Structure 1
Amino acid sequence: MTQDIFGQTVTLAPGGSLESWNATQMAFLAHSAATPTHLAETLTTAPDFALGHAVKAMFYLLLGRRELVATAQDALTQAKSALTTSSVTRREQRYVQALDIWMQGHPKAALDIFADILRQHPDDALAMKLDHALRFMLGDSTGMRRMIETVMPAYGTDHAARGYLLGCHAFTLEETGEYAAAQAAGRAGLELCPDDAWGLHAVAHVHDMTADAKGGLQWLTGREAAWAHCNNFRYHVWWHKALMHLDLGQIGHVLDLYDTEIRREKTDDYRDISNATSLLSRLELEGVNVGDRWEELAEFSAKRTEDGCLIFADLHYLLALVGDHRDQAIRDLMGRLHRDAARAATDIEKTMANPGLSAAAGLEAFGEGRYGQAFLALARARKTMQQAGGSHAQRDVFERLTIDAGIRAGFLDEAEGILADRTARRDGCLDGYALTRQGLIEDGRDAARVVARMPAE
């Protein structure tokens, strides 16, 4: 046994396997595309490393793909086998236990085990980041912040992951409405770890939530190296830049970023699909003709109708199917959602029921022009949409669709109320979307007054 880069005892001998394990952890913190390469090197040189197999499985689960569940199960089996053939620490055992219960469909219970690990080892940056990632997927922003602030005292100036911790703290501060503090933490983290794409993107979120698109573009421009090394997360940072151009009405820049960066690689990763579908939806709400861009997204999404790993992913697959009018695939996905919701045996299946069913029904109705039904369904889902996971910025596409459905259906007071609540969460700042919708609501009221004054026939 020896100690890793964060001072945690691991069942690895000094040398190559420890070096590659340290590289794995640092790459994971930075969202680096090299993460799986380093982990593969670790397990090649240390095939009985239980923690390595457990983390490999967790990485697969975080990808949210049904076909990778079996691969994750194989890694869990290897991790359990390694526990019986070598002496491991209690901390490493707890990782395997967290994975086991996560694999059974109970990620919230896995978080309880991560919390236990962090109580014993608050400076364990790997556990911190995994806990952070899983809470993000479950929409637990208050839990994310609480966890980060609990372990923060253990991260002194000499801790190798202090910059990444500050980046995570910045994101939790932003998601809980502390915008000035979030910006300060994100900037401080990036100074310590210049490749901290997560912290850089947390500051981009602040600019989004405070309607400062110009400031956001200034923040991102020239810092491309901070996310160039990333896995597909780099497409998400480009997505943020596209949102800023959209808010400024610079549609040409948005479409160019979509084609050259956001969909540079035509992947079917749910995170890439969510970037693309939510951006196209926003564009169409602004009256932009997006051409045939829905088609390739719908082709991928039609093959994911039976996935069911995350409601966040399913709803974005549905956006693609609705955007390209794939009626049979829409029916297939809706049918599977109903089956999962009826079972509701796992944490994920419960989100299929709530907010999943109402949100999906609303998206389907919106695509068919049934705006009254779309508004009622989306407004119902809105009450628990946080549980779908993701960030405020990512879920905002559903907020916009709800408001637009309300305006188109004539529910002007209700749409105005939701718009006001959206603005309040954004520190009272009005972005381009809010200003435009306020105008549409007033236009709708003016039209209603004209109709009311017309003489009856």
Structure 2
Amino acid sequence: MIIDAQGLAVTSTRPDFSVQLRTELDRFIDQALYYGNQAETAILQVLALDPTCAIAQAYAAAYYLSQETAIARQTAMHHLKVAERYAATATEREQWYIRAISAWAGGAISEAIDLHEAIAENYPQDLISVQQGQYHYFYRGESDPLLKIAEKVLPANADNPHLHYLYGMIAFGLEQCGDLDRAMQTGLQAIALNRFDPWAQHAIAHILEEQNRPEDGILWMESHSDTWEQCNSMLYTHNWWHVALYYLALGNHQKVLELYDQKVWGRANPSSSKDQVGAIATLLRLEVQGVDVGKRWQALAPHLGSRLHEHALPFQDLHYIYALARAGYTDWVNEFLQSLTSHAQQLPATSQFTWLQIVLPVAKGLIAYTQQDWSTTVSAMQPRLSYLHTVGGSRTQQKMFGQIYQQAVLRNQSGKVRQLWRTVKAG
């Protein structure tokens, strides 16, 4: 048994490596909370020292599951099976966490959330579990519990060396709930404790975007961009995506294209699902503003071939199918739609509504948008706008769907006016 940096017991059968295990385990915890690019290295080092450490195996499984790709999932399942093999001798907290990751892997997200909530109640120092709970709430579009799971553990973490990470989680939750003043105050508390906290910086980026302060957003994010060099590609590219959105709001399209080429897609892991989503969202928003993005869709789309049958997250699928349609990959679009339909029909009833009644018709509306079939886009999206938050994503990310719908409405109306004018002239 060793005690990690958060004061939590970790079951280990290798007392001879206890110092090294503690060092690598603490490094993993910090890297995971920081979204660092050494998280994988750290957890694999823990497992090299003690492959029987059940919670470390579960941490590895969660790391790979969070990549939301079929290939990473295979690796995750290997680690999860090992975690379950050694779970019997683990502590209660470790067993709950392993069960939560197992539920996630099985698609039982509500069960996973219940277990993370139980950990938050009984072992509030476990910020890795809190972070995981927020992840699930985020991709279900549930902002209020995303905030509350972090707020509830705050009183028990006054002496936690990772307190600033918790402030960042709370700040993001407050912003997602629309409490911008408290979100800003809490985000700044995090940065005051540790300037190298990219998630807290990210929370403030959201606040400034919501407040329509692009100049301040650029100043804030660019002045902290030196701290992102050790982030994983997801948060590195995502934080630069926020910078690009500020320049887009100012109408500086050339700067946005430069950031896309140099920071958003230029520094992406091209096989990363989340990096792909950020790149797609950038190009889409540029085109909604009438910007010619050249051959960038054609350069991006080939990397989406492995996404056709994954259907890990509805939020991701809507991005993928738009990009494929926009790049003219008709065969892949048709294959994607068939696979998406089959996937939705095979889901449990509790999940079918989101996939069948929201994702599938909106996907068809997005395809229609790329074909300039404005009326089909409007009819597909309009009844589902009030439900789109359930596919996940932040308030900022969700705005993209509203922009597409509004553009389709305007262009559909303009087309009707032109047709009416032609009819009048002909008469």
1:262 aligned to 2:232? no
Q: How far has the Cα of 1:403 moved from its partner?
A: 0.8
Secondary structure of the corresponding residue to residue 152 of structure 2: helix
Letter in 2 for 1:159: N
1:299 alignment counterpart:
302
2:130 alignment counterpart:
128
Q: How far has the Cα of 1:456 moved from its partner?
A: 8.9
Distance 2:197 2:355 in 1: 33
Q: How far has the Cα of 1:69 moved from its partner?
A: 2.1
TM-score normalised over the length of structure 1: 0.88
The worse-fitting range, judged by mean Cα deviation, of 5-14 and 33-42 is: 5-14
1:249 alignment counterpart:
251
Secondary structure of the corresponding residue to residue 7 of structure 1: coil
How many residues align? The count is: 420
Secondary structure of the corresponding residue to residue 221 of structure 1: helix
1:63 aligned to 2:67? yes
Distance 1:35 1:141 in 2: 27
Distance 1:59 1:380 in 2: 36
Match of 1:332 among 308, 312, 335: 335
1:174 alignment counterpart:
175
1:208 alignment counterpart:
209
TM-superposition CA deviations, 1:188-219 (whole Å, max 9, x none): 11121222111101100111111110110111
The 1:254–1:307 alpha-carbon spacing in structure 2 relative to 1, beyond 3 Å, is same
Secondary structure of the corresponding residue to residue 139 of structure 2: helix
Distance 1:407 1:318 in 2: 23
The 1:47–1:379 alpha-carbon spacing in structure 2 relative to 1, beyond 3 Å, is same
TM-superposition CA deviations, 1:87-115 (whole Å, max 9, x none): 32111111111122222111121010111
Match of 2:347 among 327, 344, 353: 344
Letter in 2 for 1:230: C
The 1:21–1:397 alpha-carbon spacing in structure 2 relative to 1, beyond 3 Å, is same
Distance 2:354 2:306 in 1: 21
Structure 1 unaligned spans of 5+: 411-443
Distance 2:426 2:270 in 1: 58
Distance 2:225 2:350 in 1: 37
The 1:18–1:31 alpha-carbon spacing in structure 2 relative to 1, beyond 3 Å, is same
1:33 alignment counterpart:
37
TM-superposition CA deviations, 1:218-267 (whole Å, max 9, x none): 11122112322100110000000001001001111101100011112451
Q: State the superposition RMSD in angstroms.
A: 2.1
Letter in 2 for 1:185: T
Distance 1:256 1:349 in 2: 40
2:149 alignment counterpart:
147
The 1:80–1:303 alpha-carbon spacing in structure 2 relative to 1, beyond 3 Å, is closer
Q: How far has the Cα of 1:121 moved from its partner?
A: 0.8
Letter in 2 for 1:196: D
Letter in 1 for 2:105: M
1:421 alignment counterpart:
none
Match of 1:18 among 1, 22, 34: 22
Q: How far has the Cα of 1:70 moved from its partner?
A: 2.1
TM-superposition CA deviations, 1:32-59 (whole Å, max 9, x none): 0011111011111111000000111111
The answer (yes or no) to whether the contact 1:344–1:350 under 8 Å persists in 2 is no
1:399 alignment counterpart:
402
**1:51-130 matches, cutoff 5 A:** 51-84=55-88, 87-130=89-132
Distance 2:23 2:349 in 1: 38
The 1:66–1:400 alpha-carbon spacing in structure 2 relative to 1, beyond 3 Å, is same
Distance 1:18 1:303 in 2: 37
The worse-fitting range, judged by mean Cα deviation, of 284-293 and 186-195 is: 186-195
2:276 alignment counterpart:
273
Distance 2:174 2:123 in 1: 23
2:160 alignment counterpart:
159
Letter in 1 for 2:10: V
Letter in 1 for 2:191: L
Letter in 2 for 1:235: T
TM-superposition CA deviations, 1:314-371 (whole Å, max 9, x none): 1111121122111111111111111112122286665322421121011011111111
Q: How far has the Cα of 1:178 moved from its partner?
A: 0.8
Percent identity over paired residues: 28
1:409 aligned to 2:412? yes
Distance 1:55 1:386 in 2: 28
